[in-house]
Chain A
Amino acid sequence: MMNGNLVIHNIFSEFQKSLDEEQELREVIRNICKEVDSISRKTTTVLQVIHYNEAGIAPACLQARELFEEANAGYAKLKDAVPSTKYYKYQDHWKFMTQRYCYLISLTIWLEKGIMATHETVAEVLVSAVEEKEGFHLDIEDYLVGLLNLCSELSRLAVNSVTRGDYNRPLQISKFVMELNAGFRLLNFKNDHLRKRFDALKYDVKKIEEVVYDLSIRGLLPKTETDGMAIES
């Protein structure tokens, strides 16, 4: 009986010890994440300028790039703190923040070059690792959620660029988002958060289509659509 006591006692003290270690690690992770998250908020604010000031876009991108470097340093700290096999155990701490960064990075790259940032590119900017095997990496689902968030932001940008008198931008956005939409249709979703987020993409697409349509029936689209404009006027 005494023997049994001791075994049970040891089981629990060992368990408590590992729980304590886990709590300590979580605290470290939380602190790093708080810091890195505040950089992401700052970047979001910086990039808001795109909705009302065309000239501000390029400088905003430059500033965002600098902030991404700060974020990368923060993620390097996370990488050091989290044991390489336990990425998914603690993932909840940085999941949303990472999704926001994916959105911010892909938005910046789109504004800079008009192209879609690949998983590899975003991972390079943020954590410098793509594959699961490499320990701390950029999870593919987080990257995809980031792209979906990008589409929402672009649908807003389509509306606002028309207000600003830029009738070219909505077409560019429409083409890009339609292509992403076609891409997302290639994926087999489980019934998870990614699926729910994807289901909301159609509203963004609809909004952008309506903007392009409004421009088109009023003959406001740049050159290629001139044949339609003759009737309109």
Chain B
Amino acid sequence: MLFCFHLISLGKYRNNRHRDNKHTLSSVARETAVSLPADSPILAMFKTAALKLNARQDRHERLVKLSRDITIESKRIIFLLHSAITKEACEKAVSEANERLQKLVKGPIKSIGLELENVPAYLHSNAVTAGFQEFIEAQTLCSLMERQSIITWREVQNDLTYEVEDIAKDESERTVVTMLTQNDYMLGLADLTGELMRRAINSISSGESEECFNCCQNVRELYTGFLGVTGCGRELVRKLGTTRRNVEKVEGAAYALRVRGGEAPGALLPAALLAAPEPWPEPALHHDDHDEGFY
């Protein structure tokens, strides 16, 4: 409204005035803009700020890329671990998985550590959390298959400590640590229950009932652990719904194995199990769909 008034009054003045009148809204703005010195201290400050912000954004992008690489390879490692059916194949898969996990540790994960060496790591924790979670999922699954116990956060963190040689002064070595937060570790552990559920069901079809009960027990204990935790982050709370469903599925599998195990051929069981109605509503999380789903 006010603006309209300006336009109208502008027209009025225009008619009464000479053509070379320069008092228009845009001319006032233009004059101010032109009168700015090109090398003022203000602009210099903004140029420095621009450099800082750009460096921050570029670093973020690089980290996201590394994180994505870790996610992809971790998913493949998990797939590899699931594909093994017999005990011998399992051992082979585990050793290959270990090798590939080490490659991740020495490759992209180390790069993340170097990238964040002189920067506050928490500034970019959003960029790397996805990759770390997936890595933990693969690493814990592998350790569980290898030595029947879950690798702890401290063990993982110790693995991510590197001695880096300085190229400039080739004698001095410095220590670089890739920070993998305990929170990311726990988030990965929550995802592990999904993999264990898968493994339990797979092991039925391959006739290894003991493995099924093992996995079932591990899932239960992880779930119990999560239930007892208070004051954890929002993301973890969100994941607990999925964990709960994983528990139910794996317990259903163990039940079916006990009751009908002698009657039905193993291969038929998983299908029968999964046809059972879903007692808990599936939230619309894309993550669950492609990651935890078993259909």
Range for the number of chain B residues in contact with chain A: 35 or more
Chain A residues with Cβ below 8 Å from B218 are: 4, 8
Q: Which residue of A15, A22, A216 contacts B28 across the interface (Cβ within 8 Å)?
A: A216
User: How far is it, in angstroms, between the C-alpha of A144 and the C-alpha of B46 when the chains are bound?
Assistant: 9
Name B's interface SS: helix
Contact residues of A between 1 and 35, Cβ < 8 Å to B: 1, 3-5, 7-12, 14-16, 18-20, 22-23
List chain B residues, Cβ under 8 A from A22. Answer: 231
Tell me if A63 is interfacial: C-beta within 8 Å of chain B.
no
In the complex, what residue of chain B is closest to A215 when comparing beta carbons?
Answer: B28
Give the total of A residues in contact with B, Cβ under 8 Å: 55
Give 1 or 0 for each of A198-216: 1 = CB within 8 Å of chain B CB: 0000000100011011001
Q: How far is the CB of B133 from chain A (nearest CB, A)?
A: 15
B35 close to A175 (CB less than 8 A): yes
A186 touches B36 (CB 8 A): no
In the complex, whether A233 has a CB less than 8 A from a CB of chain B is no
Interface string of B223-240 (1 = CB under 8 A from A): 001101111100000000
- In angstroms, Cα B13 to Cα A231, docked, is 10
Say whether A228 contacts B40, CB under 8 Å: no
The reply to whether the CB of A179 lies closer than 8 angstroms to some CB of chain B is yes
A94 contacts the other chain (CB 8 A): no
Contacts of A15 on B, CB cut-off 8 Å?
Answer: 153, 182, 186, 229, 232
Q: Considering only CB atoms, which chain B residue lies closest to A7 in the complex?
A: B149
B22-36 residues with Cβ-Cβ distance < 8 A to A are 22-25, 28-29, 32-33, 35-36
| Chain B interface residues (CB < 8 Å from chain A) | 2, 6, 9-10, 13, 17-18, 21-25, 28-29, 32-33, 35-36, 40-43, 45-50, 52-54, 57, 118-123, 125, 148-150, 152-153, 182, 186, 189, 214, 217-218, 221-222, 225-226, 228-232
Q: Can you spell out 24 A-B residue pairs with CB atoms less than 8 angstroms apart?
A: A4-B148, A4-B149, A4-B218, A5-B221, A8-B222, A9-B225, A11-B152, A88-B122, A91-B122, A118-B41, A119-B48, A119-B49, A132-B120, A140-B52, A178-B36, A179-B43, A186-B43, A187-B53, A190-B57, A213-B23, A213-B24, A213-B25, A228-B21, A231-B18
